Amino acid sequence: MNRNFKFLPAAWIALIGLCAVTSLPAQRGGRGGAAATDEKPEEGIPVTNALVVSKCGTCHAKDAKGNLSRISWERSTPEGWEEAIKRMVRLNGLTITPADARTIVKYLATYHGLAPSEAKPVMYMPEHRMVDETLIPNDAVRGACTTCHPIGRALSWRRSKDDWKLLQNLHVALYAQADAHFRRSGRGPGAAPGQPPAAGEAAAVPGAAPAPEPGEAALDFLSKSAPLHSTEWAEWRARLRAPRIAGKWLVSATVPGYGKYVGEMTIDPGPAEDEFKTTTTLKSVNTGAVLKRSGTGLVYAGYSWRGRSKGATAPGPKPDDLSKDAREALWISPDQSTAEGRWFWGEYQEFGFDVRLVRASTEPTLVTAASYSLKTGATAQVRIYGDNFPAAIAPADLDLGAGVKVEKIVSHTKSELVASVTVAKDAVAGKRDIGLGRSTLQNALAIYDKVDYLKVTPETALARLGSDVHPKGYQQFEAIGFNNGADGKPHTADDVEIGPIEVDWSVEEFMAVFGDDDKNFVGHLSETAFFTPASDGPNPERKFSRNNYGDVWVVATAKNEKDKDGKPLTNRSYLVVTVPTYIRWDQPEVSQ
């Protein structure tokens, strides 16, 4: 698992690859000099912005078609392009004002950017999520790329095949370890680049060619999976239009440790057609507490929202206070009717709202349900939130699917209704939609007969020690219940997520070495599963006056749910408590 927003300095420098390396041939007319090939050179994307040509064209040569070397054979996210500009300033002497830099990022992220369908799989990068990546195709690519950075970092770019080759050469030219990752992996220690495979390393099939070097495998994967020209990009360039998103939006959000929120966001026009101002009101589904926020945002390429917001009241001392200033990264649907993403804050961006926005309309619109799930054979009240609910609602108007009968509408207003429902004993387990009129809330509730197992999230976690000098990194845990689903087997594709379960929390020792005592020193876990790390030491009360780092199990024990033997369900997460990030590398900041 990678914390996708912390990288080695090599990754910050090498993966942009916009400056020419004097030891490498320059790219001209779309042909990479480092990649001798009989293939026809790919057409570049001409640069038409006068400011980009003025500021970048002194180093990036312009050809007769209006292409700038390197730049015209690359596309990237707003974060990628702004990071490239920062690198030009830091390492290559570029002089540029913040206003000009902002204009250039706007242009490049829009006209040399990614299509919405290309950007969505790597949205976890600008959202600063800690995830287990699923985009790595094989171990060769894993070894060549993800030793230093997430694969999402590479897949946030689109390049010509020649440009991917130039980028690989740049890695090798600047960093010795890159050569080892690209050319020597699987050849044994001390093997030279290009050395034939040793005994036992030949292809498994007699007579077949040896397996490609990891660098070759990575180049092949990236050239095919992240090409400069794609159908998605061609279609989006034709559809690209200014963002028309001003107005009222309905918001549903979840915050680990706090639960669900529901509310409204008003988006007002800003000083430019792609800039906006926001005011947001959210209400806790659990407590009814109201939270107000205001902010600004900028939309790149017609769909990429980057913004900042803050609470209407000064935040308190709690690090997870929901009034803290936050950065916002949202993916707006191509039809500009919905948006989803994350508002986040914290020294390590560990806190945040997971949000979904739906544009308000004159029609009844469902937004979220207070409950996560309903048990078969039970009668319960379901609270549903939305907008423009009709003045009169009959039980027959509300649909929760087969096996769930709406007995009566207990109460309702324009934006909230409460219904009494009965779930049949033989109702099919699984996620259910809620329908009201022509509005449908997909996968709104789970139907289940029993809780079969727990999962503590995140399953593997990271926290950081800290002090007055070095800020701490915190971690919030949750215990989620699951039903085995139709196949009756746990941890399979048809398992049904039920939602948070009431549990007791504890910390247990992870036995790594003899006499391990980490759980006594790494920090404190609250009753609500909020982990606060200890100071960064050294600690004279610990053996050898060690720092307070270590690894432990965070354990959840269900209060009411039991297994087949009558014992409480339990599960645990592996938590590593490590040292602070003593050196903070330049981070890409694209929002306001």
* pLDDT tens-place string over residues 54-73: 999 999 999 999 999 999 99
> Which residues have C-beta within 8 Å of that of residue 406, sequence separation ≥ 6?
395, 396, 398, 399, 400, 419, 420, 421
Q: Provide CB contacts within 8 A for 294, sequence distance 6+.
A: 277, 278, 279, 280, 309, 310, 312
Interior/surface letters 474-494, b for 16+ CB within 10 angstroms, e for the rest = bbbbbbbbbbbbeeeeeeeee
Place of tokens 């070894």: 143
Q: Is 523 left (phi over 0), alpha (psi -120 to 50) or beta?
A: left
Q: What's the first-to-final CA gap in the chain, in angstroms?
A: 30
Give the C-alpha separation, 196 to 187, whole Å. 8
Looking at domain 453-578, which of 1.10.3720.10, 2.60.40.10, 3.30.70.20, 2.40.10.10 is its CATH number?
Answer: 2.60.40.10
Digit-coded pLDDT (tens) for 17-43: 433 333 333 343 433 344 444 567 899
Among 174-188, 415-429, 513-527, 574-588, the least confident range: 174-188
Instruction: Answer whether residue 176 shows pLDDT above 90.
Output: no
Which pLDDT band holds residue 50 (cuts at 50, 70, 90)?
A: very high
Tokens of 149: 């950075």
Q: Are 554 and 572 in contact (CB under 8 A)?
A: yes
pLDDT one-digit tens code per residue, 292-343? 999 999 999 999 999 999 999 999 999 999 999 999 999 999 999 999 999 9
- The mean pLDDT of 150-166, rounded to a whole number, is 96
**Mean pLDDT of the 174-191 span:** 67
Across the chain, mean pLDDT equals: 88
Residue range 470-491: mean pLDDT, rounded: 96
φ and ψ of 153, to 5 deg: -70, -45
pLDDT band at 393 (very low <50, low <70, confident <90, very high): very high
Q: Token pair of 159, please?
A: 């390049």
CA 407 to CA 423: how far, in whole Å? Answer: 10
Superfamily of domain 365-448: Immunoglobulins (2.60.40.10)
- Choose the CATH number for 247-359 among 2.40.128.20, 1.10.10.10, 1.10.3720.10, 2.40.128.120: 2.40.128.120
The residues spanned by each domain of the chain are 2-194+209-236, 247-359, 365-448, 453-578
**Nearest by Cα to 403 from 366, 386, 437, 378:** 378
Q: Do domains 247-359 and 365-448 have the same CATH topology?
A: no
Task: Give me the helices (H) in 114-192, please.
Answer: 116-119, 139-145, 151-154, 161-174, 176-179
CB 445 within 8 A of CB 372: yes
Overall average pLDDT of the 349-373 stretch: 96
**How many Cβ atoms from other residues are within 10 Å of residue 37's Cβ?**
11
